Structure 1
Amino acid sequence: MTRQFDPELLYVECSQCGQPILWGHGTTSKLLRMAGIETATLDERCVIVSEGCPACQPGETSFTTQVVRLGREKGDRMSHSAAAN
């Protein structure tokens, strides 16, 4: 049996202030689709890092994000960029 990772469970953190970012249900999946990232390539080691958030940049509504896989093994690289509104 193959388990599929739910992308909505990805942890999202601001790289500027370090705060976790809470998005509405479906936002992560929408962002991944817009960036062309296959959800089958994600697992529990993946996180989304935002280059800012409303807490540290009041008034901003759009932030660049990256999907990062933590604890990469040699040769196992994954880093995708996307813009979130």
Structure 2
Amino acid sequence: MTRKFDPELLYVECSRCGQPVLWQYGTTTKLLNLAGIDPASLDERCVIMSEGCPGCTPDKSSFTTQVIRLNKEKEGRRPMPATAN
């Protein structure tokens, strides 16, 4: 059985300030359809980056977005631990 990924679960982040971007349910699906992106081609490694957000660019009301697929970790490679400064 194949599990279908819900595109509304994609993480959306502002590329300028790094804050998460929250929008109404259905907005991601609408944007993907307008861009001609098949939601079935996306998975949990995909994120949407926004070129600005209401928090860092309050004078704008629309923003360019981009879907990005993050790379898988290389086999045998462990994540680097975070260091405290």
TM-score past 0.5 threshold: yes
Alignment RMSD:
1.2
Give runs of aligned pairs for residues 43-62 of structure 1, distance below 5 A: 43-62=43-62
User: Deviation digits for residues 21-79 of structure 1, max 9, x if unmatched?
Assistant: 00110000000000000001000000000010010001201101000000158xxxxxx
From the CA coordinates, give the structure whose radius of gyration is larger.
Answer: 2
Which has more strand, going by share of residues? Answer: 1
- Is 1:33 aligned to 2:29, yes or no? no
Q: Which residue in 2 is equivalent to 1:82? A: none
- The ranges of structure 1 where at least 4 consecutive aligned residues each deviate by more than 4 angstroms after the TM superposition are none
Instruction: Give the number of aligned pairs.
Output: 73
TM-score (norm 1): 0.82
Distance, in Å, in 2 between the alignment partners of 1:14 and 1:62 is: 12
User: Identity percentage over the alignment?
Assistant: 73
Mark the runs of 5 or more structure 1 residues left unpaired by the alignment.
74-85
TM-score (norm 2): 0.82
